[in-house]
A and B are shown apart, each in its own frame.
Chain A
Amino acid sequence: MAVKVQIPTPMRPHTGNLPTVDVSAATAGEALRELCKLHPAMEQRLFDNGQLRRFVNIFINDEDIRYLENLDTKIKDSDDLAIIPAVAGG
């Protein structure tokens, strides 16, 4: 399935400043692993020993994967996968 991964501004230096990256994947976890293959510097930002970092939130079509099937959440063609980190400033 073709999926567009939305990259948040603070992580764009690790995707060559691309705001979105197109990958082909069947699940959320696969999509993120594909992203890390294309842009290896993302690995450290997203994962810690293979686990998604606790401050990284993943949304498929604006739904949090934690109440779906987490990294096993299935992806349909042209779904939108967004990485949204907490915003700290103020």
Chain B
Amino acid sequence: MIDFQSTDRYSRQMRFHGIGEEGQKKLLASRVTLCGCGALGTVLANNLARAGVGKIRIVDRDFIEPSNLQRQVLFDEQDVKENLPKAEAAVRKLRLINSAIEIEAVVTDIDRTNIESLCQDADMILDGTDNFEIRYLINDVAVKTNKPWVYGGVIGSNGMTMTIIPGKTPCLRCVFEAAPAPGAADTCETAGVLGPVVNIIASMQAAEAMKILSGKAETVNKELLHLDVWENTFRRVKVAPLLGKVDCPCCQRRKFEWLDGEFGSQTTSLCGRNAVQVSHRSAEKLVFEEMARQLKTLGEVSYNKFMLKFQAEGCEFTVFPDGRAIIKGTADVDRARTLYARYIGH
């Protein structure tokens, strides 16, 4: 009888000097919350489950589509046929990989009302999300409750990652004071994304998590890493001196503006119209010219001074300069938020 419960399964990792038997015990006794289980999230979950992180909570609001399979490593065609939520499909796959750990699927939309309870018992938080709204929420919760977290982001052939240890490294808002206004930055839907860059960035995030969870937090990367697999560039940008140097509302003044709802989006189903309004409070005005350029890969985009219109996935989007959008063709608030993040960004 093969014993999958024995720590022998981690022997190659325990022989590595940085982990050892002690480090492995700590990994097995640790708990993480993974926010988002798409491209970055599946690679992160795969690495951490195999490494023996004892308790993994996977939170995602989405379902699997054929276009996910190019990079979301835990999913296959059968999952698409069964119309499974990503969190559930990931957990089923991971249980086959490692039955000795606890893995929990939470199919929900992360927002300011539930993020604290989703993260309260975690030793650290991992970022597998595709938008800055949730990243700023993670950052607020992490700083407020003094938990480390690892940011990762990918687009096209480039990606970046940074590890945040509250009080010891700059937080996300020290480095990126504000997210690009909705529509001002490319999304994976408009600019595409390559599988290899996802695997590299998420694997780096996973290594950072292993350092922190095995008790070696002092060895984490303290800079912002940026790489491009198509242009063959690798930058290690020095951000550590920003800690205490910039007047960060989050980690210096302890104002949790995303968690408190001062920034972020609100969604309302427009009764009887098969439409949802997503209101986004953003400091930046939208630049329609820029948005139209990015969205034209999807089809026709029209705009004037007051609004921009386009169609995607059977829905008609009307976007206003303040970031508000009316998404016609769905009454489902969660789907509208997903579509907003996918095509308008943030």
- Structural contact, B176 and A53, CB atoms closer than 8 A: no
Q: Given A64-B239, A89-B187, A90-B154: A57 and B175 within 8 A (CB)?
A: yes
Give B178-208 as 1s and 0s: 1 = Cβ < 8 Å from A's Cβ atoms: 1111001111100101000010000000000
Q: Is B264 an interface residue (CB 8 A)?
A: no
- Is B159's CB within 8 Å of the partner chain A? yes
Contact of A62 among B181, B235, B242 (CB under 8 A): B235
Q: How far apart are the CA atoms of A57 and B236 in the complex, in Å?
A: 14
A67 with B235, Cβ < 8 A, contacts A10-B186, A85-B185, A90-B153 known: no
Stretch at the interface among B114-122, B125-133, B212-220, B323-331: B125-133
Tell me which residues from 30 to 82 in chain A have a Cβ below 8 Å from any Cβ of chain B.
44-45, 48, 53-55, 57, 59, 62-64, 66-67, 82
Residue in contact with B241 in the complex, picked from A10, A64, A84, A87, CB distance below 8 Å: A64
For the complex, what is the distance from the CA of A19 to the CA of B256, rounded to whole Å? 37
Identify whether the interface residues of A are mostly helix, strand, loop, or mixed: mixed
User: Are A87 and B160 within 8 A (Cβ)?
Assistant: yes
Contacts of A63 in B (CB 8 A): 237-238, 241
CA distance A10 to B238 in the complex (A): 22
Report whether B238 and A88 are in contact in the complex, using a CB–CB cutoff of 8 Å: no
Is A17 located at the chain interface by the 8 A CB criterion?
no
B155 surroundings in chain A (CB, below 8 A): 9-10, 87-89
How many Å lie between the Cα of A10 and that of B193 in the bound state? Answer: 13
Tell whether B246 is near chain A: CB-to-CB under 8 Å. yes
Residue of A nearest to B172 (CB): A86
Which B residues touch A85, using CB under 8 A? 180, 185
| Interface-lining segment among B35-43, B46-54, B74-82, B89-97 | B35-43
The smallest beta-carbon distance between A69 and chain B, in angstroms, is 12
The distance in angstroms between the C-alpha atoms of A82 and B239, with both chains bound, is 14
Q: A89-B155, A90-B40 are in contact. List 12 more A-B contacts (CB 8 A).
A: A53-B284, A59-B237, A64-B238, A67-B241, A82-B235, A82-B237, A84-B224, A87-B155, A88-B131, A88-B186, A88-B345, A89-B191
Q: Which residues of A contact B (CB under 8 A)?
A: 9-10, 13, 19, 44-45, 48, 53-55, 57, 59, 62-64, 66-67, 82, 84-90
